[in-house]
A and B are shown apart, each in its own frame.
Chain A
Amino acid sequence: MLVKMWINGEAIRDHIDPDMLLLDFVRRHGCASVKRGCETSNCGLCTVMLEGKPILSCSMLAARAEGMHVMTLEGIQEEAREFGSFMAGQGADQCGFCNPGFIMNVLAMIRELTDPTEEEIKEYLEGNLCRCSGFVSQLRSIMEYLKYKKGEQDGSGK
Chain B
Amino acid sequence: MITIKKYLKAESLEQAYELNQKKNNRIIAGMLWVKMGSNTIQTAIDLSDVVSASVSEHPDAFIIGAMTSLRTLETHKGLHEYTQGAMKESLRHIVGVQFRNMATVGGSIHGRYGFSDVLTMFLAMDSYVELYKEGIIPLEEYANRKRSKDIIINIIVKKEDLRMAYLSQRNTQTDFPTLACAVSFGKKGKRVVIGARPQKAMIIEAEESALEIPESQKDKLADVLSGQVEAQVITGSNMRASAEYRRHLARVLTRRACLQILEGGAEKSC
- Taken together as a complex, chains A and B put the C-alpha atoms of A59 and B37 apart, in Å, by 12
From 1 to 38 in chain B, residues with beta carbon under 8 angstroms from any chain A beta carbon are: 2-7, 9, 28, 30-32, 35-36
Nearest Cβ in chain B — how far from A137, in angstroms? 19
Number of A-B contacts defined by CB within 8 Å: 75
Q: A54-B98, A127-B99 are in contact. List 12 more A-B contacts (CB 8 A).
A: A1-B7, A19-B7, A42-B95, A42-B174, A63-B46, A64-B31, A105-B96, A108-B97, A126-B93, A126-B96, A126-B173, A127-B97
Chain B neighbourhood of A125, CB < 8 A? 96
Is A60 an interface residue when CB atoms closer than 8 A count as contact? yes
Contact call B93/A59, Cβ cutoff below 8 A: no
Count contacts on A: residues with CB < 8 A to the other chain: 29
Contact call A105/B97, Cβ cutoff below 8 A: yes
Is B102 an interface residue when CB atoms closer than 8 A count as contact? yes
- Taken together as a complex, chains A and B put the C-alpha atoms of A61 and B32 apart, in Å, by 11
Chain B neighbourhood of A105, CB < 8 A? 96-98
Is A78 an interface residue when CB atoms closer than 8 A count as contact? no
Known: A54-B101, A56-B99, A124-B97. A19 touches B174 (CB 8 A): no
- Taken together as a complex, chains A and B put the C-alpha atoms of A1 and B46 apart, in Å, by 15
Is B48 an interface residue when CB atoms closer than 8 A count as contact? yes
Nearest Cβ in chain B — how far from A120, in angstroms? 9
Contact call A128/B5, Cβ cutoff below 8 A: no
Chain A neighbourhood of B3, CB < 8 A? 19
Is B149 an interface residue when CB atoms closer than 8 A count as contact? no
Contact call A59/B4, Cβ cutoff below 8 A: no
The 8 closest A-B pairs by CB, nearest first: A127-B96, A19-B4, A18-B7, A63-B7, A54-B98, A18-B4, A56-B98, A53-B101
Is B196 an interface residue when CB atoms closer than 8 A count as contact? no
- Taken together as a complex, chains A and B put the C-alpha atoms of A60 and B173 apart, in Å, by 24
Interface 0/1 of B95-109, CB less than 8 Å to A:
111110110000000
Is B164 an interface residue when CB atoms closer than 8 A count as contact? no
Which of A18, A124, A125: most chain B Cβ within 10 A?
A18
Nearest Cβ in chain A — how far from B106, in angstroms? 15
Is A14 an interface residue when CB atoms closer than 8 A count as contact? no
